A and B are shown apart, each in its own frame.
Chain A
Amino acid sequence: RKEVEQDPGPFNVPEGATVAFNCTYSNSASQSFFWYRQDCRKEPKLLMSVYSSGNEDGRFTAQLNRASQYISLLIRDSKLSDSATYLCVVRRSSASKIIFGSGTRLSIRP
């Protein structure tokens, strides 16, 4: 079983829609959580960190459920420019590796 699992998608939604995807992680000792965004043939870039209490950044909301070991990302009022692959990222501690999920592909149609 992979340490970080994501639905690969693709999610194909119309502009303006709300879309959400989850990510599950297997190691309960994980301490830090992030969402990265990767455009086609580009490097990953940090979208947002995920905090225990949940956090929002504009149209993006991230939540963490430690009991069930999953992280979610909600995108409201989706834009064409949101089309990308969203990578779920987990880290146990400062001394440990940072693990990426396989990514969820999102495509926004006009």
Chain B
Amino acid sequence: GAGVSQTPSNKVTEKGKYVELRCDPISGHTALYWYRQSLGQGPEFLIYFQGTGAADDSGLPNDRFFAVRPEGSVSTLKIQRTERGDSAVYLCASSLTGDRNSPLHFGNGTRLTVT
């Protein structure tokens, strides 16, 4: 079956532009997570959805970052007024349930480069 799909796989944008990153979770998975990862670091938590609602958005670094999951499936991470420091790999993961022992399944990530 299909895994977690993230598009685009690579995105290069200019400083100040707006970008949208898309995540298509595994069908039937109710929980969805966004992380970003810089070179040599572990994934840094951004936001966690249970169904359509954000259960924990404490990792969003500032109000330039926003994420939605309107129908409880596909999610979009939106970044306004991008800065060079936003350059990273943005990872999406889903799990069957939000149960604390439910393992995460990651997509291949979107590599964002802000020039």
- Compute how far the CA of A97 lies from the CA of B33 in the bound complex, rounded to whole angstroms: 9
Contact A102 B42, CB 8 Å, known A43-B106, A95-B56: yes
Q: Does B91 contact A (CB under 8 A)?
A: yes
- Compute how far the CA of A53 lies from the CA of B48 in the bound complex, rounded to whole angstroms: 29
- CB of B108 within 8 A of CB of A43, answer yes
Contact A101 B104, CB 8 Å, known A94-B98, A95-B55: no
Q: Does B25 contact A (CB under 8 A)?
A: no
- Number of residues of chain B lying within 8 A (CB) of chain A: 25
- Compute how far the CA of A100 lies from the CA of B48 in the bound complex, rounded to whole angstroms: 14
- What 6 pairs across the A-B complex have the smallest Cβ distances? A43-B106, A100-B42, A32-B100, A46-B103, A102-B42, A97-B45
Chain A residues engaging chain B, CB cutoff 8 angstroms: 4, 6, 8, 31-32, 34, 36, 42-46, 49, 87, 91-103
Chain B residues engaging chain A, CB cutoff 8 angstroms: 33, 35, 40-45, 48, 50, 55-56, 58-59, 91, 98-101, 103-104, 106-109
Q: List 13 A-B contacts (CB under 8 A).
A: A4-B42, A31-B100, A43-B91, A43-B106, A44-B106, A46-B103, A49-B101, A49-B103, A87-B43, A97-B59, A98-B48, A98-B104, A100-B35
Besides the contacts A32-B101, A36-B104, what 18 more A-B pairs have beta carbons closer than 8 Å?
A: A6-B42, A8-B40, A34-B103, A42-B108, A43-B109, A44-B43, A46-B104, A49-B103, A87-B43, A94-B98, A94-B100, A95-B56, A95-B98, A97-B33, A97-B56, A98-B33, A100-B35, A103-B42
